[in-house]
Structure 1
Amino acid sequence: MGLVYIEQLEEMSVEKMQQTHENEVKILNAIDNLAISYDRGEATLDELEQKIDEYVEHVHKHFAYEEGLMQEYNFPSYDMHKTAHDMFLEELQHAIKQWKRYEKVEKITNFIRRAPEWIVLHVNTVDVPTANYLAKKMGSVAT
């Protein structure tokens, strides 16, 4: 069982955005599986932390890519979309600080387990219209 499934997300009309979201789903589910395995003594803290670090790096690259496209193609709702990204990143950074300060991995895994709700809502209501706009501006549906 996973935290989130790609089928919960609407299809993107920009292929790289689609692939990025699919990768994010895989990483989130891998973190959840590692957290469960860690709790059972079947995975190491290092394995779990490496996957969490991968997720953080992925999110930063994901948002930077989308924001770059929105700027390049003068997306009219750029500020709103970027604000949503910034708020998510702020919450993620807070969870990381709590994890590091208290040395309790639960501080970050609890955030990770809540993230899919935000991701599904954001993708389906914000990213899909953005991708549709970008695809039209780019003149194709495959980027």
Structure 2
Amino acid sequence: MKYELTDDLLTGNALIDSEHRELFAAVNNLMDACAQGKGRDQIQKTVQFLEDYVAKHFRDEEGLQTKSNYPGYPAHKQFHDGYRRKLAETTQVLTREGPSVKALGDLNGVVAILVSHIRTEDKRLARHIKG
């Protein structure tokens, strides 16, 4: 399954949407490498990119929230903090165990949480910023 930034996931904010595209591309690249039997070669690089990029993306979103006095900031920040921890736990297992079916399934689960968050919370944030 490929992750795509479909119309229902577009927020209308250029920065947020471009960063979501890059995150999805990184996950897709790892999944493609695993499907070709090259997952072990890609894991460390992709895991590091995901963790770094999620941290950057969340900082960018949080900056937009504080700049625009977003009333949902505390809950959004709390989600981001928990998500960073969950992603780190999942990627540690993936790095340790390799691209097992379970580890990749867990990563897909973490990405699904992000997709749901984009669909609701990030779109709400973008509407607030837009005014």
Which interval holds the TM-score relative to the shorter structure?
Answer: 0.7 to 0.9
- Rate the CA distance shift 1:44–1:120 in 2: closer, same or farther, 3 A: closer
Is 1:84 the equivalent of 2:70? no
Is 1:26 the equivalent of 2:25? yes
State the TM-score, normalizing by the size of structure 1: 0.79
Match among 93, 117, 124 for residue 122 of structure 1: 117
SS of 2:9's partner is coil
| Other-structure match for 1:5 | 4
State the TM-score, normalizing by the size of structure 2: 0.85
- Rate the CA distance shift 1:20–1:44 in 2: closer, same or farther, 3 A: closer
Greater RCO structure (CA 8 Å; 6+ sep): 1
- Rate the CA distance shift 1:68–1:78 in 2: closer, same or farther, 3 A: same
Kindly provide the CA deviation profile for residues 46-66 of structure 1, in whole angstroms up to 9, marking residues without a partner as x: 323212211111111111100
How many residue pairs match? The answer is 129
| Other-structure match for 1:49 | 44
Identity of aligned residues (%): 20
Q: Which runs of 5+ in 1 are unaligned?
A: 137-143
How many Å separate the matches in 2 of 1:94 and 1:31?
17
Asked whether the 8 Å contact 1:99–1:108 carries over to 2, the reply is yes
Asked whether the 8 Å contact 1:9–1:120 carries over to 2, the reply is no
Q: Which has the larger radius of gyration?
A: 1
**How far 1:20 sits from its partner (Å)?**
0.8
Q: Kindly report the root-mean-square deviation, in angstroms, between the aligned alpha carbons of the 2 structures.
A: 2.0
Q: Which runs of 5+ in 2 are unaligned?
A: none
| Other-structure match for 2:97 | 104
